[in-house]
Chain A
Amino acid sequence: MSTTHTRNAARTMMSPAVILLLAWMLVPLAMTLWFSFQNYSLLSPGNESWAGFNNYKYFLTDPAFSEALVNTLLLVGGVLCITVIGGTLLALLLDQPMFGQGIVRLLVIAPFFVMPTVSALVWKNMFMNPTNGLFAFFAKSLGVTPIDWLGHHPLLSIILMVSWAWLPFATLILLTALQSLDSEQIEAAEMDGASSISRFFHIVVPHLARAATVVILIQTIFLLSIYAEIFVTTGGGPGNASTNIPWLVYRQSLLSYDVGVGSAGGIVAVILANIVAIFLMRMVGKNLDL
Chain B
Amino acid sequence: MGSITLKKVAKRFGDIEVIPPLDLAINEGEFVVFVGPSGCGKSTLLRLIAGLEDVSGGVIEIDGADATSLPPAKRALAMVFQSYALYPHMSVRKNIAFPLKMAGMDKASIDEKVNKAAETLNLASYIDRRPGQLSGGQRQRVAIGRAIVREPAAFLFDEPLSNLDAALRGNMRIEISELHHKLDTTMIYVTHDQVEAMTMADKIVVLNSGRIEQVGSPMDLYREPANVFVAGFIGSPSMNLITGNAATEEGATTIGVRPEHFHLSMSEGKWQGTVGVSENLGSDTFLRVEVDGIGTLTARADGEFPASLGDTVYLTPDGERMHRFDASGLRMVR
Contacts and interface: CB of A to CB of B under 8 A. Distances in A.
Contacts of B81: 184, 187-188
Given A182-B83, A192-B98, A198-B102, A187 B89 contact: no
B166 interface: no
Nearest to A183: B85
Contacts, number: 63
Interface residues of B, number: 24
Contacts of A192: 73, 98-99, 102, 146, 150
Contacts of B85: 182, 184-185, 187-188
B78 to A, nearest CB: 7
A190 B52 contact: yes
B50 interface: yes
B132 interface: yes
B138 interface: no
Interface stretch (A46-54, A104-112, A202-210): A202-210
A99 B150 CA distance: 40
Contacts of B132: 290
A207 B79 CA distance: 22
Q: Is the interface of B mostly helix, strand, loop or mixed?
A: loop
B50 A191 contact: yes
A187 B102 contact: no
Contacts of A190: 52, 71-73
A188 B95 CA distance: 11
A14 B54 CA distance: 58
A193 interface: yes
Interface string A187-229: 1111111110010001100110100000000000000000000
Contacts of A290: 88-89, 132
B82 interface: yes
Contacts of A189: 87, 98, 102
Interface centre among A182, A193, A198, A209 (most CB of B within 10 A): A193
Contacts of A187: 52, 72, 79, 81, 85
Interface of A: 182, 184-185, 187-195, 198, 202-203, 206-207, 209, 290
25 contacts: A182-B85, A185-B85, A185-B87, A187-B79, A187-B85, A188-B81, A188-B87, A189-B102, A190-B71, A191-B72, A191-B73, A192-B98, A192-B102, A193-B99, A194-B73, A194-B102, A202-B87, A202-B98, A203-B87, A206-B87, A206-B88, A206-B89, A206-B90, A207-B89, A209-B89
